[in-house]
């Protein structure tokens, strides 16, 4: 990460790391935490709940990065510190209404369907400004930025082009008075291109933990 920052003219430590721990056992999370990482991403609610209980002695920051279903918003609003996958106003309102009063406002990112894939969640870039306005009116949510998961490709320039569209949207929103500080993009396969295009938070699973035991459905 630090080497990529230098290579692409990013400030030192401009990029932070989210360890994506889906399908990894609690022992592996504990081990990665002991090496200095405290921020973990999970896609599946029940699996995440079990891990949070087992690891409650550790001060971990939990990020929900899975597909949002409206019948699961209450536990997500209760348990997580961040949600990366808000893509519609109805979900944002539920998270806002269900965030417990004893917890600080929930940090949220708007997921952008940056490659406009029918199989992926996220709102279209054109619909983002309206969703930003809706979330800014919700006091129990703190809008921090955007999340993107582009179509998978091994072509570095193609990776950069997709991330660049997310960066342009992020800059456009900030130029119009929104205060976003987080651009969550880049996975094990494409984080170098994401850092080149302004990512502030990369989400690495296999690059940290090794391969996962099973394939999961798309987010
Ligand atoms: C699984 C997942 C990742 C991590 O992917 P790797 O290829 O293992 O680095 C990142 N973001 C999201 C949304 C994921 O579901």
Please write the tens of the pLDDT for every residue from 171-185.
999 999 999 999 999
State the distance from the centre of ligand 1 to the C-alpha of 137, rounded, in angstroms: 30
| Closest alpha carbon to 108 in 134, 131, 129, 81 | 81
Give residue 212's pLDDT: 86
Q: Indicate whether residue 147 lines ligand 1 (CB < 6 A).
A: no
Give residue 213's pLDDT: 76
Give residue 125's pLDDT: 98
Taking the whole predicted model, whether its pTM rises above 0.85 is answered as yes
State the distance from the centre of ligand 1 to the C-alpha of 217, rounded, in angstroms: 11
Give residue 193's pLDDT: 98
Give residue 219's pLDDT: 63
Q: Indicate whether residue 43 lines ligand 1 (CB < 6 A).
A: yes
Low-confidence ranges of the chain (pLDDT < 50): none
State the distance from the centre of ligand 1 to the C-alpha of 102, rounded, in angstroms: 30
């Amino acid at each position: 990460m630090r080497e990529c920052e230098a290579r692409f003219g990013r400030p030192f430590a401009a990029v932070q790391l989210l360890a994506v721990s889906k399908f990894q056992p609690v022992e592996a999370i504990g081990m990665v935490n002991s090496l200095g990482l405290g921020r973990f991403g999970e896609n599946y609610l029940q699996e995440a709940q079990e891990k949070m209980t087992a690891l409650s002695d550790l001060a971990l920051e939990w990020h929900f990065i899975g597909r949002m279903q409206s019948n699961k918003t209450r536990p997500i609003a209760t348990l997580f510190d961040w949600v990366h996958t808000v893509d519609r106003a109805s979900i944002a309102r539920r998270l806002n209404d269900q965030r417990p009063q004893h917890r600080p406002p929930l940090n949220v990112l708007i997921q952008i369907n940056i490659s406009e894939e029918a199989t992926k969640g996220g709102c279209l870039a054109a619909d983002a400004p309206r969703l930003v306005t809706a979330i800014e009116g919700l006091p129990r949510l703190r809008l921090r930025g955007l999340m993107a998961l582009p179509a998978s490709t091994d072509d570095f320039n193609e990776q950069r082009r997709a991330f660049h569209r997310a960066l342009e949207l992020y800059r456009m929103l900030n130029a119009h008075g929104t205060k976003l500080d987080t651009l969550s993009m880049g996975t094990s396969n494409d984080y170098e291109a994401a850092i080149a295009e302004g990512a502030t938070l990369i989400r690495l699973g296999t690059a940290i933990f090794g391969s996962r035991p099973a394939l999961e459905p798309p987010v």
